[in-house]
Amino acid sequence: MKHTIILSFLLGALFALQCSRDEGNYQYNEINEITIKDVDGRSFIIVNDGIDRIKIEPVIEMTETGLNPDNDRIEYCWYIHNSLWNPYDTIATTRVLDWVPNLSAGSTRHTLYLRVKDRLTGVTTSSSCSFTISLFHSRGWLLIGENTNGNVQTQLISMLSGRDTILYPNLLENSGLPTLKGPINFFHTGGASGDRKLWILTESGSYWIDNVTLKSTPNNTFSSILYNAPPQINVVDLAYPIRTAAGASSNYYRYIVADNGNLYTTYLFNRGDYYTSPVNVLQTDRSTLIPVKGPLLVHMTATLGIGPAMWYDGTNERFMIAKDPESYNYSEVVPDPSSDPFPWNQAGTGRTYIHGENTQDDISGGSNSFALMKGSDNKGYIYKLRVNNTPDKRAMYPIDPAPIDFWNASWYAFAENQTTMFYVANGKLYLFDYQNTPTPNGTHIDFWNGDEVTMAKIDHTSAPRANHLYVATWNPATGGQITKYILSGTTNLTKDRSFEWSTGFVKIKNMTWRGTE
């Protein structure tokens, strides 16, 4: 205790001595305080096409009167820093930023900082904003058609959020692919990030394209991702398709039908986008391949796209089911309760599979698919069903008599939540309500002064259940056009004037939605 008192006394004396020497001659200098405006909280979406740039001209306010923000005394540093694991990346040392990002496109949100320092006083302040690098082709409608030279040409109606809608007239001009003939389809798979691809399907071949660079080679065929395959096998159908405006698909299951009639599956989570033996075989007979006929049927709203695919055996006239690719390397015959509205096994009915379509229609609950069947008596039958591990038959609608040119149609399309079917035959568009007996001629729709209709497609993806019908038309003198119509009730179509695009001299044959990358 005695030592503590002595120490306290000495400190007090020292403090008193210092105070006695204070003559009160203080000279205060005000510190130049800096404020940054027009940076904080801003957000940019940049299209990674070598054209878009981030340009920011911040307002710099300082408390020192007369000091110009562009004076050499003021130091500027723009930099990117996303996490503790990434280094700082200085991109500019000027007050005004005018910068073309050269970062990889993707979903990463980058943070951009501006640091301002007064070199004289050392006072520093900072502000930040954010940006993402997008792709001009990451969201919008992918179009495929035929130009006046008879060659395949792909286009894109780019619809990035917060940006103007733009038509890109020749999307794969520099892809590295050969000249293609016979446009069929052009789509993005969605799904797990490492397994996303763009596929172009044509009569002269199908190829996958890098979904970021849009580059490909003649070797980018299905054979390149199929074990022990011959050089050229073409894709004719794929499931699961994109099913939401954001581009959601299946992160787990993928089913591919090839032009050799085989069905291939993969479990993306383990194997990625690679395929081995076909599964269009029975468990009891692995050596006999049963050719697949027509489009695959799947449950569009199945959680994460985890579910089976139904396919049609055109040899034995029956519906088959391929289940979980992780556990099954064969397909199964579907049993037939006698009370159902139609049989899975069509043998003996005289009917065969013509067209299938997956919708998000929820009449009667669930997500319904449709199968159009043609009878030996030329009558039609529409089967409404839901594809689960135990598929559910919802209803059957007879088409008797079949409308004019119905079996010559190049396009069939089912509405969502309405009992309306569209078809295109001989360049003309027709519709009818299949729940009620249609007239022999159906209803001919002509809003185009006789121009040829080359496509009529209901949007089951970007706006499901909204009943948006996209119609592509062709006029040799004025070129191609795509127009959106809204179906209300079962027969009333109204033009959406916000979506009416000239495609130049490209005759559109198909379109699909691509969501965000």
The mean pLDDT value for 439-444 works out to: 76
- More confident call, 27 vs 102: 102
**Domain membership flag for residue 106:** yes
Residue 329, phi then psi, degrees to nearest 5: -120, 30
Strand partners, 253: 267
For the chain, the domain total comes to: 1
Share of the chain above pLDDT 90, in %: 70
**Domain membership flag for residue 69:** yes
Which of 254, 203, 261, 259 shows the shortest CA–CA distance to 236?
Answer: 259
Model confidence at 305, pLDDT cuts 50, 70, 90, reads: confident
**Domain membership flag for residue 51:** yes
pLDDT tens digits for range 29-65: 678 999 999 999 888 877 765 667 899 999 999 999 9
**Domain membership flag for residue 471:** no
**Domain membership flag for residue 401:** no
Question: What pLDDT is recorded for position 439?
Answer: 64
Rounded to 10 degrees, the C-alpha dihedral 270/273/276/282 comes to: 80
Helix runs in 296-439, H state only: none
The mean pLDDT value for 143-168 works out to: 94
CATH number, domain containing residue 77: 2.60.40.10
Give yes or no for residue 437 having a pLDDT over 70.
no
**Cα–Cα distance for residue pair 64/120, rounded to 1 Å:** 12
**Domain membership flag for residue 329:** no
The mean pLDDT value for 127-152 works out to: 92
The mean pLDDT value for 200-218 works out to: 94
DSSP notation for 58-69: -EEEESSTT--T
**Domain membership flag for residue 512:** no
- More confident call, 97 vs 24: 97
Question: What pLDDT is recorded for position 356?
Answer: 98
105 burial (CB, 10 Å; 0-12 / 13-18 / 19+) is buried
Question: What pLDDT is recorded for position 27?
Answer: 56
Residue 96, phi then psi, degrees to nearest 5: -85, 130
**Domain membership flag for residue 122:** yes
Q: Which parts of 190-306 are beta strand (E)?
A: 198-202, 205-209, 235-239, 253-258, 263-267, 292-297
Question: What pLDDT is recorded for position 162?
Answer: 77
Give yes or no for residue 438 having a pLDDT over 70.
no
pLDDT tens digits for range 71-90: 999 999 999 876 544 566 89
Question: What pLDDT is recorded for position 29?
Answer: 64
Within 13 Å and on the Cβ side, how many CA atoms surround 434? 30
Q: Print the domain residue range for 45.
A: 34-134
Q: Are 380 and 406 in contact (CB under 8 A)?
A: yes
